[in-house]
Amino acid sequence: MKEWFPLSKNDNSDGSFSRLGGIATIEQEPIEVKCKCPKCGESFESDKIMVNPPNMGGENHEESIVYTEEIYLCDKCGSEIEIVIDNGFGGVDIEVEGLSRKDIFYRLPSE
């Protein structure tokens, strides 16, 4: 089984962060996300999420960003766990509504 990486490993001491590299390609790539339910704290692992490729017609990172959104239900409390992944020329970022970056982990099952 592939290793989980903390999303916060890409954070800098000044509060900025580096995007995940290696996914920003023309083709869709899968990623898996692990976190706790923001409501009850139950551990959660997503299925493979196919990350949409960047908008290759964009002239810069902001114009190239394409979003992939997935909503899961917590097995324990039934709350929605919303995962938003953005992919652009500068790389990928992951957000889970209600959680900080330090509470989000990822792995690339294709590696």
**Domain housing 28:** 5-107
pLDDT at 19 over 50: yes
Categorize the per-residue pLDDT at 22 as very low, low, confident or very high, splitting at 50, 70 and 90.
Answer: very low
Q: Which residue has the higher pLDDT, 44 or 14?
A: 44
Q: How many domains does the chain have?
A: 1
C-alpha to C-alpha distance for 91 and 79, rounded to whole angstroms:
29
pLDDT at 6 over 50: yes
Radius of gyration, CA atoms only, the chain: 14
On whether the CB atoms of residues 92 and 19 are closer than 8 A, the answer is yes
On whether the CB atoms of residues 105 and 7 are closer than 8 A, the answer is yes
On whether the CB atoms of residues 10 and 25 are closer than 8 A, the answer is no
Q: Which of 14-18, 37-41, 56-60, 67-71 has the lowest mean pLDDT?
A: 14-18
The residue assigned the tokens 């959104």 is 69
C-alpha to C-alpha distance for 52 and 58, rounded to whole angstroms:
14
